Amino acid sequence: MALSQKYKYMITILLATYNGEKYIVAQLDSLLAQTFTNFTVWVQDDASTDSTWDILMEYKSRYPDKFHITRNETNTGSAKDNFLSLITTIRDNYLMLCDQDDVWLPNKIELSMAKIKTLEELHPNTPLLVHTDLKVVDQDLNVICPSFRFHTKRNYNRNAFHQIFNLNNVTGCTTIYNIALAKLLTTSPKHCIMHDWWLKLVAVAFGKVDHIDESTVLYRQHSQNACGAKDVRKLSYKLNRLINGHELKATLHETCYQAGCLLEIYPHMLSNIQKHILHEYSTIPQKGKLKRMQTLIKLRAFMPSFSRNIALFLFI
């Protein structure tokens, strides 16, 4: 029995678009080619100035039951903010995030659905988030690296509360999350580095996060990527991070402000231990250098590699 027949739950795919005419057709076609078909696509266009809107309306006319299309009157300024608008307003049994320039492999929804259903059997009524690996490809879909996880040295098992503040290991376009998590996502944080990172923070704080090792997305790399797949294994990448230490310090401090938003939005749901950790980490920018380093050690808020920890302690 096909999974789409076995499970009758509805999935909503949240697709944020902006000036995506070059690649959007390939993405929409890959959604329609999924082996699991019990889904709708909620598209929010961010006031595109190219032909993206016309393309979307064409698909809406051809597949009226599949696509719900909306358009922002003014541009939000980023894919992050467009996605946060969707994440904090759209509800369904299961939700998935979709980027306009990628291509989903045919079994992406089927694999994701099977995994999250298994988790729900183990953890009923629990907020859950599942994500997968990706294949890094060039703008013409030629494979650069078969594993984004390997390419960026991501450790998908870093899900302890003290490990999630200074490095994100979830890629939004691979995620599926359930209604229990969706109900918690009602407020956009004042400080948010990326929408998928915020999803991960809330999911770890109040539920469970798991992953699928298989790559389910062709993650297209081109000049307009909001976040690209940087090869962190290269010496040039590591040297550039050290040379541009002021940028790294600013980013690290942003992680502190982001953690503070978790404490601000959910003060009555967090445990006392969680609130203590969040308070200590979020106030790092207000402390002296020695105290900042001591706080990182006390919280065990380390990076997953030696070189990254050097940078962390140099620039925090």
pLDDT tens, residue by residue, 58-85: 999 999 999 999 999 999 999 999 999 9
- pLDDT category of residue 213 using cuts at 50, 70 and 90: very high
CB atoms within 10 A of CB 305: 14
Whether residue 168 is predicted with pLDDT greater than 90 in this model: the reply is yes
Among 5-9, 147-151, 243-247, which is the least confidently predicted range? 5-9
The residue written with tokens 């984004």 in the block is 148
- pLDDT category of residue 112 using cuts at 50, 70 and 90: very high
pLDDT at 44: 98
Whether residue 240 is predicted with pLDDT greater than 90 in this model: the reply is no
Which of 166, 189, 158, 312 shows the shortest CA–CA distance to 262?
Answer: 189
CA–CA distance, 149 with 215 (Å, rounded to integer): 9
**Which neighbouring-strand residues pair with 175?**
none
CA–CA distance, 232 with 149 (Å, rounded to integer): 11
- Is 138:221 a contact under the CB 8 Å cutoff? yes
pLDDT in tens, 289-310: 999 999 999 999 998 888 888 8
- Is 134:171 a contact under the CB 8 Å cutoff? yes
pLDDT at 311: 85
pLDDT in tens, 13-64: 999 999 999 999 999 999 999 999 999 999 999 999 999 999 999 999 999 9
Q: What are phi and psi of 131, to 5 degrees?
A: -135, 165
Percent of residues, the chain, with pLDDT higher than 90: 83
Q: Which domains does the chain have, with CATH numbers?
A: 8-220 (3.90.550.10), 235-315 (no CATH)
pLDDT at 7: 57
Instruction: Please provide the average confidence, as pLDDT, over all residues in the chain.
Output: 92
Among 70-79, 108-117, 198-207, 304-313, which is the least confidently predicted range? 304-313
Q: Which secondary-structure segment (H or E) carries 42? A: strand 39-45
The burial class, CB within 10 Å (0-12 / 13-18 / 19+), for 184 is middle
CA–CA distance, 280 with 285 (Å, rounded to integer): 10
Q: Are strands 11-17 and 94-99 parallel, antiparallel or unpaired?
A: parallel
pLDDT at 224: 65
